[in-house]
Amino acid sequence: MDESVKQRHQTRMQRKKAVVDAAIGRATEQRGIVIVITGNGKGKTTSAFGTLFRALGHGQRVGLVQFIKGTRSTGEVAALEPFGESVDYHAMATGFTWETQNWEADQRAAEMAWVHAERMLSDASRSLVVLDELTYMLKYGYLNTERVLEAIAARPELQSVIVTGRAAKPELLEIADTISELADVRHAFKAGVQAQAGIDF
């Protein structure tokens, strides 16, 4: 490669490093954060679980509430088993609304699941609490948005929370420190590929 090209690359990387180092220097605050992972694309729940396993890998204790539990068991929940007490886990008792088709039953199930979320959100020994598919509970009015946001706001200082699900309400986005929106650029399901173990559940 041309010497001048290499030189230009090195100069550019030096400048980049200065910018990155300055940004790292500015980030001095230590506190738990709220992460919202939303959008219509694939990767919300798997991203939340990736972070959960990351925390477990550091020997941290975590909490997980799944607000929609499908009829089949998932690989990600099965993989939590060896972590025992390090994981406080609860799944909402019913399937989801297009199966139960009963607002009141869903609402009651959501309320019951929320009690577990509240326990985790007040447990300072849990460094991360994942509230998987919580957005739908707010969207369908199964849970009171204000109450949910208050519990998240009142959590222990060093605890982080991840909320996943499509159509996150503006009020939820308002309190988030980090928001990622996955775009549905393409999905194999639409081309007729069946959901598969290890990829989709």
Judged by CB under 5 A, the stretch of 30-38, 45-53, 118-126, 153-161 that binds Mg ion is 45-53
Looking at 28, 29, 98, 190, which residue is catalytic?
A: 98
Is the CB of residue 177 less than 8 Å from the CB of residue 37?
Answer: no
**Minimum distance from CB of 19 to Mg ion (Å)?**
35
- 44 forms part of the interface with Mg ion (CB under 5 A): yes
Q: How far apart are CA 119 and CA 121, in angstroms?
A: 6
**Minimum distance from CB of 169 to ligand ATP (Å)?**
16
**Exactly one of 44, 69, 126, 155 binds ligand ATP (CB under 6 A); which one?**
44
- Say whether 111 is catalytic: no
- Say whether 133 is catalytic: yes
Is the CB of residue 135 less than 8 Å from the CB of residue 167?
Answer: yes
Q: How far apart are CA 107 and CA 130, in angstroms?
A: 20
Give ∠ CA 175-54-48 in degrees, rounded to 5. 45
Is the CB of residue 115 less than 8 Å from the CB of residue 77?
Answer: no
Smaller CB distance to ligand ATP: residue 170 or 198?
198
Give ∠ CA 119-125-129 in degrees, rounded to 5. 55
Residues classed as catalytic: 40, 42, 44-46, 54, 96, 98, 133
Which residues lie near ligand ATP (CB under 6 A)?
Answer: 40-46, 164, 166, 184, 187, 189, 195, 200-201
